[in-house]
């Protein structure tokens, strides 16, 4: 048995690997053909991905109070999420949600490496789906390699046509669903089925169809290896306690084939039988035995493949496994550590702040625009300023509102102060403010407009503006 060799986590992104390892998983024209396999992590990925597909493809068809339940209506500048409606003024909440998602990704990376890439990333999920289509139309790995090298005859044409038909069908369905979150999906689907779709909707459906078809069908691992920035900055989040997919060098070396039932010590070998199964199931074509590499997406396919071989050989599983550098060096993995605790604390605080912000979100919006004219004198000799009030009913019910001035004894609001707004209605209300005092306190004073729900006085919104008046009259 060789001496124990520590695993260097992402020490070099461009570490060279044996050419033989690359060839084992590629056809003559450098196309990766993965072998079928079974195992625990494959089952977890299928279940998880299936739930995500159900969420993505199913949610868009749900209805809520007679409208699409989840719809980012760009034309109306409002976003429906079941019973809640969000407006451009609420974009700060979306920003907070994206920041929470980013810190969540950082935390899971510190804890377990690139599990996002291997199990939930859309690129990986759709690639696995397209690979499944490839398998049912062209056969398993060896059959696909032979078909790749075969001349173009009827069998190859039919199989390739079937594969690309499935790819295109999935791509169209994906594009329809994605665009359906931004424009009502039912009319969009009807227009697509009747070939009446046109304009901007047609452009985006074609764009995302092409993007899905090319990314998941043709580019595949190239997106992860050359286009995705996450692979390149993950190294700053890894530490010696990060659970990453690793090959146990001390246990596996020296490699070599042997008959089933032969004890490794008898053959002066390690547990690795050098079967290259871990390479042949890898969707990016790497050899995990060369150490953790930038191209590894953490899908655990190599773990399932290796464990199945170890089971057949009568050896213990875990030659390739989720483990840490500390554990491979004979130490103990520390699950709780300052960096991970820090990310967790930040996540809890931000999620709590988001929940509070959602609960305190005012359901009426008020914006004030002052008229370009500085001031004017009315028929009673008072100085007036003209304003335009933009009021939005953010609820899903008709609401009655009252407009007033807050703490302004020297001013009088003139115009329509009682109004009723339909669900989601936006109105522009012209009003004027008159100065009651004979002389203003200053040439420019702050005034506050208030819009209040007459049925629920706690529901209110305040907006400030300026009142301009001459000091000398």
Residue 7 is predicted with a pLDDT of 37
CATH code (residue 431): 2.60.40.10
The count of structural domains within the chain is 2
State residue 27's pLDDT score.
Answer: 55
Tokens of residue 176, six digits: 């329809």
State residue 439's pLDDT score: 83
Report the alpha-carbon distance of residue 406 to residue 411 in Å, rounded.
10
Model pTM?
A: 0.83
Q: What integer pLDDT is reported at residue 353 of this predicted model?
A: 93
CB–CB of 262/20 below 8 Å? no
On whether residue 432 sits in a domain, the answer given is: yes
pLDDT at 83: 83
Helix (H) or strand (E) segment spanning residue 48: helix 40-59
Residues of the chain with pLDDT > 90: what percent? 72
Of 164, 199, 219, the last residue of a domain is: 219
Give residue 4's pLDDT. 34
Confidence of residue 29 (pLDDT cuts 50, 70, 90): low
Peptide bond before 254: cis, by omega within 30 degrees of 0? yes
Domain boundary pick from 191, 219, 247: 219
419-441 pLDDT, tens per residue? 999 988 899 999 999 999 888 88
Give one word for 415, left, alpha or beta, with left for phi > 0 and alpha for psi -120 to 50: left
* Average pLDDT rounded to a whole number, residues 216-241: 88
pLDDT band of residue 24 (cuts 50, 70, 90) is low
CB 95 within 8 A of CB 220: no
DSSP per position, 57-118: HHHTT-EETTEESEEEETTTTEEEETTEEE-GGGHHHHHHHHHHHHHHHHHHHHHHSSHIII
End residue of a domain, out of 172, 203, 219 = 219
Pairing of strands 411-415, 426-435: antiparallel
Residue 410 in any domain: the answer is: yes
Classify 313 as helix, strand or coil.
Answer: helix
- Quote the crossing angle between the two packed helices 185-193 and 199-212, to the nearest 10°: 80
The model's pLDDT over 115-152, given as tens digits with 9 standing for 90+, comes to 999 999 999 999 999 999 999 999 999 999 999 999 99
Alpha carbon distance 306, 312 (integer Å): 10
For residue range 65-103, what is the model confidence (pLDDT) as tens digits? 888 999 998 888 889 999 888 888 788 888 899 999 999
- Does the residue 286 lie in any domain? no
Average the pLDDT over each of 5-9, 159-163, 272-276, 461-465 and give the range with the smallest value.
5-9
145 CB-near residues (< 8 Å, 6+ apart): 27, 33
200-204: list long-range contacts, CB under 8 Å, 24+ apart: 204/175, 204/179
Angle of CA points 162, 286, 132, to nearest 5°:
20
Q: Is residue 380 a part of any domain in this protein? A: yes
| Rounded average pLDDT over 353-381 | 90
What is the extent of the structural domain holding 429? 364-468
Residue 309 within any structural domain of the chain: no
Going by pLDDT thresholds of 50, 70 and 90, the confidence category of residue 6 is very low
Residues sharing a CB contact under 8 Å with residue 469, sequence separation 6 or more, in sequence order: 375, 383, 385, 435, 440, 443, 445
Residue 41 maps to a domain: yes
Residue 278 has pLDDT above 90, yes or no: yes
349 falls within a domain:
no
Residue 351: how many CA atoms within 13 Å on its side-chain side? 10
- The tens digit of pLDDT for each residue in 230-265 reads 878 777 888 999 999 999 999 999 999 999 888 998
| Mean pLDDT on 175-196 | 96
Asked whether residue 191 is assigned to any structural domain, the reply reads: yes
């Amino acid at each position: 048995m060789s001496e124990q060799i520590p695993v260097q986590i992402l020490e070099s992104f461009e570490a060279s690997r044996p050419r033989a390892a690359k060839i084992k998983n590629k056809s003559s024209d450098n196309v990766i053909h993965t072998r079928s396999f079974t195992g625990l992590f494959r089952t977890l990925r299928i279940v998880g991905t299936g739930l995500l597909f159900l969420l993505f493809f199913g949610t868009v068809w749900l209805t809520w109070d007679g409208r699409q339940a989840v719809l980012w209506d760009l034309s109306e500048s409002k976003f429906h999420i079941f019973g809640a409606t969000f407006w451009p003024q609420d974009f700060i909440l979306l920003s907070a949600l994206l920041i929470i998602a980013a810190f969540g990704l950082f935390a899971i990376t510190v804890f377990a490496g690139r599990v996002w890439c291997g199990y939930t990333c859309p690129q990986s999920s759709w690639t696995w789906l397209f690979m499944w289509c490839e398998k049912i139309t062209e056969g398993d790995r060896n059959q696909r390699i032979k078909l790749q090298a075969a001349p173009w005859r009827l069998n190859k044409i039919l199989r390739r046509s079937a594969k690309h038909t499935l790819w295109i069908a999935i791509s169209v369905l994906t594009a329809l669903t994605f665009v359906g979150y931004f424009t009502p999906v039912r009319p969009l689907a009807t227009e697509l089925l009747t070939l009446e779709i046109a304009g901007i909707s047609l452009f985006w459906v074609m764009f995302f169809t092409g993007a899905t078809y090319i990314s998941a069908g043709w580019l595949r691992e190239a997106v992860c290896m050359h286009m995705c920035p996450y692979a390149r900055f993950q190294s700053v989040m890894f530490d010696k306690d990060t659970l990453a997919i690793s090959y146990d060098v001390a246990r596996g070396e020296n490699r070599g084939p042997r008959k089933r039932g032969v004890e490794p010590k008898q053959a002066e070998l390690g547990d690795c039988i050098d079967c290259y199964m871990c390479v042949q199931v890898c969707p990016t074509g790497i050899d995990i035995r060369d150490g953790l590499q930038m191209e590894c997406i953490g899908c655990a396919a190599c773990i399932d493949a290796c464990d199945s071989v170890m089971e057949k050989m009568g050896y213990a599983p875990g030659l390739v496994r989720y483990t840490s550098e500390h554990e491979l060096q004979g130490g103990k993995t520390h699950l709780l550590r300052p960096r991970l605790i820090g990310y967790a604390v930040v996540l809890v605080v931000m999620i709590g702040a988001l929940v509070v912000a959602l609960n305190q979100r005012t359901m009426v919006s008020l914006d004030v625009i002052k008229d370009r004219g500085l001031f004017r004198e009315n028929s009673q000799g008072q100085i007036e300023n003209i304003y335009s009030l933009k009021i939005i009913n953010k609820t899903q019910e008709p609401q009655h509102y009252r407009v007033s001035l807050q703490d302004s004894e020297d001013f009088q609001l003139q115009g329509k102060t009682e109004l009723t707004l339909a669900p989601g209605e936006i109105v522009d209300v012209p009003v004027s403010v008159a100065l009651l005092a004979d002389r203003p306190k200053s040439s420019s004073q702050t005034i506050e407009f208030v819009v209040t729900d007459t049925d629920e006085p706690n529901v209110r919104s305040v907006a400030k503006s300026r009142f301009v008046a001459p000091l000398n009259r």
